[in-house]
Structure 1
Amino acid sequence: MLPETVAAAFPLPDQAQWRSAVDKVLKGADFEKRLVSQSADGIRIAPLYPAAPAGLRPMRAATGRWQVAARLDHPSPAAARDLALADLEGGAETLVLSFAGARAARGYGLVAEDVAALDTALDGVMLDLIRLRLDPAPAGERNARLVAELIARRDIDPAKADVDFGLDPIGVFASHGALSAAWPELGRRLATLIGELRGRGFSGPFLTVDTRPYHEAGASEAQELGAAMATALAYLRALEAGGMALDLARDAISFTLVADTDEFMTIAKFRAARLLWERVQQACGLAPKPMALHAETAWRSLTRRDPWVNQLRATIASFSAGIGGADSLTVLPFTAALGLADAFARRVARNTQLILLEEANLWRVADPAAGAGGFEALTQGLCEQGWSKLQDLEREAADGLPGMIAALANGHVQQGLARQRALRAKAIATRREPITGTSEFPNLGETSVSVLAVPPVADGSEAVATETGLMTEALPSVRLAEAFEALRDQADAATTRRGTRPTVFLATLGSIADFTARAGFARNLFEAGGLAAPSGDGFASGGATDLAALVTAFETSGARLACLCGSDAGYAGEAIAVAQALQAKGASVWLAGRPGDLESALNQAGVSAFIFAGCDVIEALRSAHAIAAP
C-alpha cells in the first residue's frame, strides 16, 4: 500500500470526472452510440463499470485445477487407443468417448459395437485413475451399458470409476430430429437405467445437459442458458415421475456448455449458468449444490481457411472457460473443421490448457471475475435474460410434454435460433463481427495442414422415432465462416480450371499516400473471397494519375473487374475519366468508398458498385465472382 502522503498526491477520480473527460474527447458525439454496445441478447455493455459489491458467488464444487479432457473419436479402436494413450501421457486427465453417431463426432467417432471393441480402444488406460465422459448419441443407452460392462470385465470397483455417462435424449432430439420413444416411456427408461447403474455402484453423473446443438445452430448466450435450464427441469421431472428422489435426480445431472471467442460473454455465461442452476434447485425445494460443468471450445468458431488462427480462438475460449469456472474442458483441435485431427493437433489442444494451468496459473483463484463491475453486470444480465428464456420455453409445455421438448417439437426453438442465426450472419457478412484469417486478413498463400486420412463412418443420424416417438426439424450445425469459405472454394476451383487465380485490378488514383488506405481495404475484401487483388506503386505522374499507364496495366492484367481506389479528392477530380476509360476497354468498374454526392455522376461514367466499411461483403464478393470468374 502506498504511504498516505504519496496516495494523497494521486486522488482517485470519480465517475463524473471520467465522464466529463470522455465528453470532451467525444466533442458532442453521442456517448451511447460511440462507446456503448449490446450483446446478442440486448444486454448493455458499457465502457466502464464501478466495482461491484459482494454478492452471490458462482462457486465450483471443489477449488483447484480444471481437468484437461481429450476426445476419443477415431473410428478404429486400435488407432483410438494409441491416440488416447498419447493424450494421457501428454497431460490429459479425462477421455471423452465420442462414439460413431454422436453429433460431436462430426462424421467420425469410435466404432465399438461390443465390449471387446471398447476394451481394445481403452487397452492400457487405467480406468480407475482417469475420468471418462460420453458424448450424447442416439445409441446413448447402449454406449452407457458398454462402459459399465467394460468396467465390470476389468474387475474395477464402480465406486472408484469416475464416469459421466452422457445420456441426453433431449439433446439428441434437438440434433438428430428424432425421439426414440414417447416422453413418459423414455423418462421411465432413463430412471430405470440410472437406477441400474447406481445399483452397480456408479455415482454418475448419468444425464448430460448438452448445449452444443443450440450453440451450433446460432444460439445467443441467453438462449443457450435457457435451453440448458429447461432441459434440466425436464430431466428432473422425468426422473421424479420415475420414482427417483428429487435430490438424487439432481445429482444425476451434469452440464456441457460452449466456450466461445467472446471472452467477457463466455466468462459471464459460465458464471450465470451456475447461479441459474442454484435458482432452479431452490425453486424445486432443494438445498443447492454446485453444478458439474464441462466445457468445450466452440465448433461454430472454427475455420477451414488459415486454420492456425483457430489456436488463438481456442486459447481465448480456454482462458474464458477457466476463469468462468469450468470443472473440465475439451479444446477442439485447430484442424477439426478439416477432418480428424492427427497427433500434433491433439497435442496443441492439450498444451493450450496446460500452459494456462501450469504457466499462467489460472486455477489458483477461485473466481477471478468476482467484484469486477463489468463481469458482475454481464453475469447478472445473463441471469435475467436466461431466466426469461427458460420461462419462455416452459410456456410451450403441452400434451404431457415438458416445455423444452414441446418447444422443439412445435418448432419454437428452431424459429428462435433461425432469427438469431440470421442476425449473426448479417454481422458476419458486413464484417461487424470479423473472422480473422477468413473475412479479415485472409492469406491466399496459406500452407495446408495435415489431418488423418480416415473416411467418415455412418453417423447414426438415420435414427428414426418409433410409432410413439416424436419427429422434428433437426437443428443445423453451422460454422460462422462457411459463407466466406464457399467463396474461397469457388475461387480455387476457378483457379484450377483457368490456370490462374481470378484477379481484380485495383485502379489506384494519385500517389501512394492517396490510395494506400482504400487499396488495402479493397485488397482485403476481395482476397476474403479468394480473388487476387495486387497493387503496386500506382500510376502517379506530375501530381495526377497517368491514365494511359493505368489503362495499359489493366489490359495487361487480364482482369474483367477494376476497382477504383483513391482519396475523396482524387475521386472528385479523376474518377469519372478513369471509369470511362476502363469501361471503354471492357472493364466492369467498381469504387472503394462511399460515393457521396458523386454517386449519380459515377454511375453515369460506368461505376456499377461501391464497396465500403459496413457493406454486405458476401453479396459483393458473389457479384465480383460472377464478373471475375464467370
Structure 2
Amino acid sequence: MSSAAPSDLPYLDAFPAPSREAWRSAVDKVLKGADFEKKLVGRSADGLRIEPLYPAATGPRALRATPGRWHVAARLDHPDPAEANALALAELEGGADSLTISFAGAAAARGYGLVADDVAALDRALDGVMLDLIQLRLDPAPQGRVNALLLAALVEKRGLDPASLDISFGFDPLGVLSTIGSIAAPWSEVGRRLAAAIASLKGRGFSGPFVTVDTRPAHEAGASEAQELAVMLASAVAYLRALEAQGMALEQARDAIAFTLVADTDEFLTIAKLRAARLLWARVEQACGLAPRSVPIHVETGWRSLTRRDPFVNLLRGTVAAFSAGVGGADSLTVLPFTAALGLADGFARRVARNTQLVLLEEAQLWRVADPAAGAGGFEALTQGLCERSWACFQEIEASAGETGRGLVAALASGQVQRDLARSRSAAEKAVATRRSPITGTSEFPNLNESHVEVLPVAPAARTQRTPAADASLDPADIIAAFVAGGDRSQGLIASADALSIEPLPSLRLAEPFEALRDKAQAAATPPTVFLATLGPLADFTARAGFARNLFAAGGLAASGGDSHASDGATDLDALVGAFRESGARLACLCGSDSAYAEEGAAAAEALTNAGATVWLAGRPAESEAALNQAGVVSFIFAGCDAVETLTRAQAAASA
C-alpha cells in the first residue's frame, strides 16, 4: 500500500502530467507556422516578456505589516468645509474607515480641494468625525507643512491623545517639486524644515508616518511600472539622507516614511508592481543596515486611465484597479469616482467608488489571503522582472549629482527624469493613437449618444493669498500654538528664499487626444458627418463598414449610409451617389471587399468625387491603390493607422 498522501484531486492521477513540450507542439499546430513570439508573447512598457504559460514558481513573500482588511479610503476634497463635512460623514456612515484630506492646491485635488485657512474651518470640515476611530491621511500639497500643523492644532484643540490617532501627515516636498516645478528653498533647507516638523509632531506624541512618497506625479507623467518604482525608491532614499543629515537616526527616518502608489487597469502588472515595491524597499533597508519592516502602502486608482467620454466605463476600470490593489497588498485604497475627470464627484459617484471596495472585501473576501499571487509563475516572473528593471532605473537616478544635490533632486534639476518619462509617455500615446492600446468608450466603441452624468456644481477652489508671517527659524510648536489661538494660515507660511526650480512633470490622461476631437466636433456649428459608401452585397462590406463607423465615431463624426446598393451582382453607382447627396455629408468612405475595390472602387470613387465628395477608403488594397488614388481616393483608414491624426484630417474634410 502506498504511503504517499492522497491527492486533493485524485481523478487527475488517471491522466499523465502534461509537459511544456507537448503543449508547445499543440500550440504550433494551431499557429500553422505563425511566429510564436509575435502571436503569443507580449511585452510590458518596460520590455518585460509576458508569456502565455508559466510553470509554478517561488519567490520572496511580499507581505503587509498587518494582515487583514485594507482601509477603505474616501476623499475629503470639497472646497466648502460644511459641504465637505456632509460628504465625509456620508462616506464614513457608508462603510469607509479612512479619510484623505486633499487641501486646495494639492495636485490630487484636481483644482478643487478643501479651503481651510484656520483651525476653525478644519474643525467644521471634520465636525462629527471621531478622529480616534478612523485613519486620516493628508494629500501632499504645496503648503503641506502648514496643513500638517493645522491638523495637529485641531487635535490639541479637541483634547485628543495624539498617540491614539492613526494619521499620515503627507509631507512630500519632492512630489510638490515634481508637480508645480518649485519649492520655496534649497533642498538642504527643505530637509531641515522637514526634520524640524517631524521632530515637533513626534514630540507631541504623533507616531506618523510623516512623509508620503507619492508616485502619482510620475505615473501621470507617463511612467512605466519600473520607472514608477524607481522614482519611489529614489524619493524615499532622498528623504532618508535628508533626515539623517539633520541628526535623525536612520531607523527613525525609515519609520517616518509611507508610500502612495497607483493601481492601473493592467491587473497582472499592478499586482506585480505592488509586490515588487515591498521587495525593493526591503532591499534598500538591508543596504542601509536596517532589519526590513513592512512599509505602509496606500494605493489610488489611476487618474491617467480615466475618461470624460462614456464615463460609466470608468466603473470597470476602477473595479479592475481595486481588485489588483487588494490582491497586490494595499494597506489602504482610494477608488477614484467614475466622474472624477468631469468635475467634483457627487454623493452617488462616491458611493459607487466606496462600494466597489466593500464588495471586494465583504463579498469576494479578497483580504482573507495574504499575498495570494505568491507561487503563481506569471506573477512571480513579473515581480522579479520589475524588481530588476526598477533597480537599474533607480541606480541611474542615484548616479545623478549636481549643485542642487544628488540622486532624485539632481535628476529632476537636470531634466533626466523628465526626459525618461517623456519617452515612455510618447510610446504610450502612440499606442493609444494607433489603438494598439484601445480605450473602450473613447477610441473603441464610442457612444455618440451617451447619457449625461452629474457632478457637483462647484467652481474650482479659490484660496485667499496670504502674506507669509513665519520666520524660517520659528519652532513648529510655536506655529501650532498660534493656530490653536485662532491664527490663520499665514502664521505658518515662510517667504521663498533661493527657491529650487525645475521643469514640472505634466499630468495627463491617455484619453485626452480623442476627447479633444469629440469636444471640437460637438462644438461645431454643423456636426461633422461621414457617408459610408458601400460596395457589393451586405456580407462583403459589413466588416469594413463597422470598422469605419467605429473609427469615425471616435472623432465625433456620425456615419450615415451603410446600406447595400447591390444590384445584379454589382453596385448601383447612381443609387450610391444619390444616397450620398441625400446624406448632406462632404466626406465619403468606400467600404467593401478587396475584390470589390479592384472591380468597382475606381468607378465609385470617380462618381462620388464628381458629386462633390472627398473620398476615403477603408482598407489597404495594395494592388489597386494607384488606380484608386487616380480616381479620387485621397486617404485610407486601416487597423494600426494613427487614429488621432486621421480623425483630425477627417474632421477638416467633413467640414470643408
TM > 0.5:
yes
SS in 2 for 1:296: strand
On the 8 A contact 1:181/1:465 being kept in 2, the answer is no
Which residue is 1:7 aligned to? 12
Alignment RMSD: 1.5
Query: TM-score, normalising length from structure 2?
Result: 0.94
- Of 291, 313, 318, 1:309 maps to 313
Within-5 A mapping of 1:353-502: 353-399=357-403, 401-458=405-462, 466-494=496-524, 497-498=525-526, 501-502=527-528
On the 8 A contact 2:57/2:380 being kept in 1, the answer is yes
On the 8 A contact 2:138/2:169 being kept in 1, the answer is yes
1:464 offset after TM fit, Å? 11
1:397 offset after TM fit, Å? 2.3
Which residue is 1:289 aligned to? 293
CA distance in 1, matches of 2:194, 2:337: 33
Relative to structure 2, which stretch is displaced further, 111-120 or 539-548? Answer: 539-548
CA distance in 2, matches of 1:565, 1:406: 55
Q: Deviations over 1:397-448 (max 9, x none)?
A: 2236131011111111111111111111100000000000000000000011
Provide closer, same or farther for how the CA distance between residues 418 and 400 of structure 1 changes in structure 2, counting only shifts above 3 A: closer
On the 8 A contact 2:532/2:562 being kept in 1, the answer is no
1:540 equivalenced with 2:544 (yes/no): no
- 2:606 maps to amino acid: Q
On the 8 A contact 1:523/1:533 being kept in 2, the answer is yes
Which residue is 1:112 aligned to? 116
CA distance in 1, matches of 2:13, 2:382: 33
1:586 equivalenced with 2:612 (yes/no): yes
Which residue is 1:505 aligned to? 531
CA distance in 1, matches of 2:96, 2:406: 38
Q: Deviations over 1:475-510 (max 9, x none)?
A: 11100000000000011011xx13xx3210000111
On the 8 A contact 2:590/2:618 being kept in 1, the answer is yes
1:459 offset after TM fit, Å? 7.3
Q: Percent identity?
A: 69
Q: Deviations over 1:26-77 (max 9, x none)?
A: 1111111111111001111111111103x21011001101100000000000
CA distance in 2, matches of 1:629, 1:583: 16
Provide closer, same or farther for how the CA distance between residues 528 and 278 of structure 1 changes in structure 2, counting only shifts above 3 A: same
1:158 equivalenced with 2:162 (yes/no): yes
- Of 94, 101, 107, 2:98 maps to 94
Provide closer, same or farther for how the CA distance between residues 310 and 5 of structure 1 changes in structure 2, counting only shifts above 3 A: closer
Provide closer, same or farther for how the CA distance between residues 400 and 507 of structure 1 changes in structure 2, counting only shifts above 3 A: closer
1:357 offset after TM fit, Å? 0.5
Provide closer, same or farther for how the CA distance between residues 523 and 461 of structure 1 changes in structure 2, counting only shifts above 3 A: farther
Provide closer, same or farther for how the CA distance between residues 21 and 614 of structure 1 changes in structure 2, counting only shifts above 3 A: same
Q: Deviations over 1:522-580 (max 9, x none)?
A: 00000000000134431111122111100000011111110000111111111111001
1:177 offset after TM fit, Å? 0.3
1:4 offset after TM fit, Å? 8.7
Relative to structure 2, which stretch is displaced further, 616-625 or 592-601? Answer: 592-601
CA distance in 1, matches of 2:276, 2:214: 16
1:211 equivalenced with 2:215 (yes/no): yes
- Of 608, 611, 617, 2:634 maps to 608
Which residue is 2:202 aligned to? 198
1:584 offset after TM fit, Å? 0.6
Query: TM-score, normalising length from structure 1?
Result: 0.97
On the 8 A contact 1:179/1:465 being kept in 2, the answer is no
- Of 273, 277, 294, 2:281 maps to 277
CA distance in 1, matches of 2:198, 2:287: 24
Q: Deviations over 1:109-146 (max 9, x none)?
A: 00000000000000000000001000000100000001
1:460 offset after TM fit, Å? 9.8
1:232 equivalenced with 2:236 (yes/no): yes
CA distance in 1, matches of 2:386, 2:189: 34
On the 8 A contact 2:339/2:455 being kept in 1, the answer is yes
1:5 offset after TM fit, Å? 7.3
Which residue is 2:473 aligned to? none
CA distance in 2, matches of 1:70, 1:283: 36
Provide closer, same or farther for how the CA distance between residues 128 and 464 of structure 1 changes in structure 2, counting only shifts above 3 A: closer
Provide closer, same or farther for how the CA distance between residues 4 and 95 of structure 1 changes in structure 2, counting only shifts above 3 A: closer
- Of 597, 602, 619, 1:571 maps to 597
On the 8 A contact 2:540/2:593 being kept in 1, the answer is yes
